[in-house]
Structure 1
Amino acid sequence: MRPAAVFTGLAGMAVVAGLLISAEARLRGGTGGEDMITAEAPATDTAAQTAPEAAGLSTPISDADAEIIARGAQPAAPSPAPAERVAATPADPPPPSETPGGQAAGPAAKKPIELARPVAENAGVLSFGERRLQLAGIGPTPADRICGPAGRQWPCGMLAKTALRQLLRNRNLTCDLDMAEWKGTVTAACRLGAQDLGTWLAENGWTEAEAGSPLGAVADKAKQAQKGIYGGDPRRK
């Protein structure tokens, strides 16, 4: 054989071998790249899953769950204010009416009223036409009352009435009343000038004091002194 032909054959075989080696290397390189990609894929997915958690992000929730959580987070309703609790209790009685000066208005205060031409019906009751007025603090002595022991009785009620008439002598009185006009019978304190009529009758023993009356001590003193109805017939003295 010729040397040139041998050389050409060897060169061709070397080229073919190089191509085969290169192809095998390429094939091996592609498989390794796929393995690297396959090996890195899970790491990438895991990082993608854990990244939100590492960043502090929570998994999205539904609107219904969000509303339930929001209701649970709302503060409790405050208890009723004192004014509301008072409104729920039974209504208090209305306060007393007040005068323009700010003071509570009580019953109408009595005022001194002048009364003309009183007539003594007995020792304690005066008449003004069809109206009657009983003097305060005393028990009237009936005009038909009889005093004294048997055999020495005397018309003490009539004499007591006469004594009051002589004191009045048809003069005007000042009496403490709610109003100048009234119907029926009223009870009031009356004065002739500065003299209280009830006190005068009790001091002279012409009437008894009512229970609990401030004139009780005055009437007891007259009784001890045997004045008026507590004594004898003054006509015999």
Structure 2
Amino acid sequence: MRPAAILTAVAGIGVVVGLIGAGGQRLGRTVDPNQTSEPAPDGGQAEGTTTPAPQPTTNPQASMNARAIDAASQFYPAAVDGKPLERVAAPEPEKPKATEEKEGTNLPRPVAESAGVLGFGDRRLQLADIIPTPADKVCTDPSGVEWPCGMLAKTNFRLFLRLRTVRCDLDSADWSGTVTTSCKIGTQDLSQWLVETGWADAADGSALVEAGTKAKQDQKGLHGEDPRKGVPVPGPLPDEPADPL
């Protein structure tokens, strides 16, 4: 055998013997169950070690930030001014107020029989607070010329209504003969519209007297000239449809 090979074999055997000896020394040590690895050479915590949880102390002086329990805190609920606190129920959210339905009755497709009188089949409704203008009324303008103001008042009232539904101060749509009440289209009061445009006079003592006085001063409607002057006379209006009621 060559000398180099012999030296290599001897060196390998020496390394193996050294490793076996080191392992035997390690196995001979007492293993701490709370320590899973050797301590670091600098005395710090070695990587991979688990620190044991601190054990509770039985020494009351060792507890930090401890305070004695006073007599008042032994009772529940706590007392204020000698009176125990009471549990108060959480307030319920306020419910929105129900919208009150406006009083009145809807009457569809009113027919203007005159400026101030509505027809519903064989029933009549006269608007309150005004003096209806008869359809055959004849007026005289400031220059002394007569003109059919009653027919024009009725025509203008019909054009304003346009067969829209009116809401009247009635308990129901069931009545007979003629009834007198107030009516509106939306927020517009029909009696007020007739007086302000001058196509009907306000009744004495009503809230529309002032509006009627202003319409006379402004020479509106019945209190002015024939509005057809200088305007071609239109043909007759088509017949109103029959009331389905």
| TM-score interval for Structure 1 and Structure 2 normalised by the shorter chain | 0.5 to 0.7
Structure 1 residue 139 and structure 2 residue 131: aligned?
Answer: yes
Deviation at 1:135, TM superposition (A): 0.5
> Hey, what does 2:206 align to over in structure 1?
213
SS at 1:121 equivalent: strand
Query: What is the distance in 2 between the residues matched to 1:205 and 1:171?
Result: 21
1:120 is aligned to 2:112: yes
Which structure has the larger Rg? 1
More helix by share: 1
Alignment of 1:3-18 (within 5 A): none
Amino acid corresponding to residue 132 of structure 1 in structure 2: R
CA shift at 1:165, angstroms? 0.2
SS of the equivalent of 1:235 reads coil
Q: How many Å apart are 1:179 and its aligned residue?
A: 2.3
Task: Write the mapping of 1:1-237 to structure 2, written as runs, cut at 5 A.
Answer: 111-149=103-141, 152-236=145-229
Give TM-score scaled by structure 2 length. 0.50
Deviation sequence 1:26-85 (CA, Å, 0-9, x none): xxxxxxxxxxxxxxxxxxxxxxxxxxxxxxxxxxxxxxxxxxxxxxxxxxxxxxxxxxxx
Following superposition, the deviation at residue 168 of structure 1 comes to 0.7
2:220 maps to a residue whose letter is: K
What residue identity is the alignment partner of 1:235? R
Unaligned 5+ residue runs, structure 2? 1-101, 231-245
Matches of 1:193 and 1:228, distance apart in 2: 23
Shift of 1:178: 2.7
Deviation of 1:148 (Å):
1.0
Unpaired segments ≥5 residues, structure 1: 1-109
User: For residues 109-128 of structure 1, what are the alpha-carbon distances to aligned partners after superposition, in whole Å with 9 as ceiling and x for unaligned?
Assistant: x9310001100000000000
CA distance in 1 between partners of 2:138 and 2:211 (Å): 22
Task: State the TM-score, normalizing by the size of structure 1.
Answer: 0.52
Give the distance between the partners of 1:151 and 1:210, measured in 2 at CA: 26
Q: CA offset at residue 194 of structure 1? A: 1.1
User: Distance between the aligned counterparts of 2:130 and 2:193, measured in 1?
Assistant: 11
